[in-house]
Structure 1
Amino acid sequence: MKKKIILISGMVALLVAILAIALWPKSSDQSAKDGKLTIVASTNVYAELAKTVAGDHAHVSAIITKQSVSPEDYEPTNDVAKKVSKADIAFGNGLGYDAWLNKLAKSSKKTQLLLVSDLLNKDSKSNPHLWNDPANMVNAAQKLANELSKKDPEHKADYQKNAAAYKEKLQPVTDKIAELKAKTADKNVFETESVYEYMLKDLDMKLVGDDFAEAIAEDSDPTPAALKEVQNALTEHKVAFVVQNTQTTGGDVAKLVKLAKQENIPVVNVTETSPDNTSYVDWKLSELNQIEKAIA
């Protein structure tokens, strides 16, 4: 009888131990293991920014890392939803560009949603392609540093130092813009879609065919009047060059690009998302170098 009691007691102790292990809180992510923050960015562009600012004090990853994937059309998987729900910060663009990140972050009690559009106090009517203005990126880096300093005050000095380093990192782009501005100021330019507007305004250029570009950006058909306006500007050589978003195709766009080439008007090719394995600085400089050749 005594042996049975000892055996039963042993089995109970074993079951309690197994149950305790099963119910023991598991580390939901890497940050729980080493104390570092976890930041999940919507795109590789913002992941690069966050990595620079956070330095060694956070695990940073991007949901979208391929140029072939459109953030506006992206549909997150269950694994992505879990990843965002376990993150300390979800870092995105806002203004509808990566709306799926908003939904995922807001469904988690843990995740803080930081949108560049909010950090920069942009209103709902603002052009969503914020990264095409390096000043926006520099300001976003500083704002992110401020938020990280609140969340992790122990490393505030590092975050502030890293934000300043990010500004220096982007200096080649701002220098190139300043160099080109002397040649591009007040010149007319047409963009097939309103994705490069911030950069063109940084160059002090005047946009032609806004109605056409906005229609393409909104996936709607440009009006005959909007199309005619651009055609006239091209045939009358009223634009210095055309900016084409190569990730957007369509009959009207193709016709205008073809017309520009027929009229010997330079075409500058840009992309809405960063080329694979390409830094922000290299990406923007490659586009600006095309503009430099176009106005030579």
Structure 2
Amino acid sequence: MNVRRLIPTAALAGAVALGATALTACSGAGATGSKDGKVGVTASFYPLQFLAEQIGKDHVKVDGLTKPGVEPHDLEITPKQTAQLGEADVVLYLKSLQPAVDKAVAQSGVKNIVDAATLTELEVHGAGHDHGAEEAHAEGEGHDHGHGEGEGGKDPHVWLDPVKYAEIAKGVGAALEKADPDHAADYRKNTDELVGKLTALDTEFKDGLKNTASRTFITTHSAFGYLAERYGLDQEGISGVDPESEPSPARMKDLQAVAKKDNVTTVFFETLASDKTAKTLATDTGLTTDVLDPLEGITDTSQGADYFEVMRSNLKNLQKALGAK
């Protein structure tokens, strides 16, 4: 587990104050009154950056705080990035996913701040048995309260459900309309197009996972609770929503039993976190390994160049692992 080295609140405040004067030419978000005339959007991590780019297109200049290859939960904010936040016209973030970002946003003084967690309903998901979420909600079992959770132990990984991601997209579109009313019609048009693509993706997942030999998948990082619930699957996480927590021997033993009982063939790992526990479990149970990407960032090793390509790779990998017919 990495220890976050968060910069003190006083330093954050000082950096924001400096940002208004000393860093007006910051390479991050541009301001409405800047030379290019574009709306400056700062997004905390890739899923929100992608929405801003798709909806804003030529009218916005988007900067992401979490660079490719960085695990977003462990992001450390620099004074320059804090100053950059203070200059943005619109800030997009997901409260409680990245504590360092939460502190910086609180100090930024930006008028148009959008918390994606308020644009859709967040739910509690445990490390296992997410199908329908009945047991987890009723008994409150299996909930890991690690750094990756939202407020009240709620799962923040809403972008992995195309339906919920579309709800967030609508909120982002509305925020851009408010910040730049002159181009409101374009933002509405782009939002509608993106929501249409997400609706089509939802249909692909529904159809592609309708008939499978197994409904259970094992993954190192319990990021897929919304996806599992949406498409009637059971997520069994080696760790909870914290991708770096070490599972107990008892949990590993439980997963071996689950794999046998539910005809599990594959243990999934991801590109931004260690695959050690996945490979250990796979070796102990005679299973194969494959990638299921939580889409917290795009790198050269991602199975696709953007959200839609990686989600379709996830679908293909799930179909193979679950024995889709």
TM-score (norm 1): 0.78
Q: Quote the residue 1:105 is aligned against.
A: 105
Distance 1:151 1:186 in 2: 47
Q: Quote the residue 2:185 is aligned against.
A: 157
Distance 2:291 2:48 in 1: 22
Cα gap change, 1:293 to 1:188, in 2 (>3 Å): closer
Distance 1:185 1:108 in 2: 51
Counterpart AA for 2:299: D
Runs of 4+, deviation exceeding 6 Å: none
- Displacement of 1:250 in angstroms is 6.7
1:69 aligned onto 2:70 = yes
Cα gap change, 1:65 to 1:248, in 2 (>3 Å): closer
**3-state DSSP of counterpart to 1:64:** coil
Distance 1:269 1:250 in 2: 10
1:170 aligned onto 2:198 = yes
Q: Quote the residue 2:144 is aligned against.
A: none
Cα gap change, 1:279 to 1:207, in 2 (>3 Å): closer
1:271 aligned onto 2:293 = yes
Contact 2:170–2:191 (CA<8 Å) still a contact in 1? yes
Distance 2:256 2:216 in 1: 14
**3-state DSSP of counterpart to 2:32:** helix
Q: Quote the residue 2:55 is aligned against.
A: 53
1:138 aligned onto 2:160 = no
- Consecutive unaligned residues of structure 2, counting only runs of 5 or more, are 1-20, 124-150
Q: Quote the residue 1:281 is aligned against.
A: 308
The CA RMSD over aligned residues, in Å, is 2.8
1:190 aligned onto 2:215 = no
Distance 1:281 1:218 in 2: 23
Q: Quote the residue 1:83 is aligned against.
A: 84
Give a deviation string over 1:127-180, Cα, whole Å, max 9, x none: 122221111221111011122223333332222211111123335532320222
Distance 1:243 1:197 in 2: 14
Distance 1:271 1:90 in 2: 25
Q: Quote the residue 1:5 is aligned against.
A: none
Counterpart AA for 1:38: G
Cα gap change, 1:54 to 1:223, in 2 (>3 Å): same
Contact 2:162–2:201 (CA<8 Å) still a contact in 1? yes
Counterpart AA for 2:58: D
- Displacement of 1:202 in angstroms is 2.4
Contact 1:186–1:204 (CA<8 Å) still a contact in 2? no
Contact 1:88–1:112 (CA<8 Å) still a contact in 2? yes
Contact 2:82–2:108 (CA<8 Å) still a contact in 1? no
Which structure would you say has the larger RCO, counting Cα contacts within 8 Å and 6 or more residues apart? 2
Contact 1:244–1:268 (CA<8 Å) still a contact in 2? yes
- Displacement of 1:289 in angstroms is 1.0
1:29-44 aligned within 5 A: 29-33=30-34, 34-44=36-46
Contact 1:268–1:287 (CA<8 Å) still a contact in 2? no
Q: Quote the residue 2:14 is aligned against.
A: none
Q: Which of the two has greater helix per residue? A: 1
Cα gap change, 1:213 to 1:185, in 2 (>3 Å): farther
1:117 aligned onto 2:140 = no
- Displacement of 1:30 in angstroms is 4.2
**3-state DSSP of counterpart to 1:32:** coil
Q: Quote the residue 1:213 is aligned against.
A: 239
Counterpart AA for 1:270: L
Contact 2:94–2:115 (CA<8 Å) still a contact in 1? yes
Distance 1:235 1:197 in 2: 21
TM-score (norm 2): 0.71
Distance 1:248 1:258 in 2: 19
The size of the alignment, in residue pairs, is 264
**3-state DSSP of counterpart to 1:39:** strand
Distance 2:76 2:158 in 1: 22
**3-state DSSP of counterpart to 1:182:** coil
- Displacement of 1:50 in angstroms is 0.6
Q: Quote the residue 1:291 is aligned against.
A: 318
Distance 1:206 1:117 in 2: 24
Distance 2:116 2:158 in 1: 8
Give a deviation string over 1:179-232, Cα, whole Å, max 9, x none: 222124972222222012222222211234x5x432x72744433432221111
Distance 1:117 1:180 in 2: 28
- Displacement of 1:282 in angstroms is 0.6
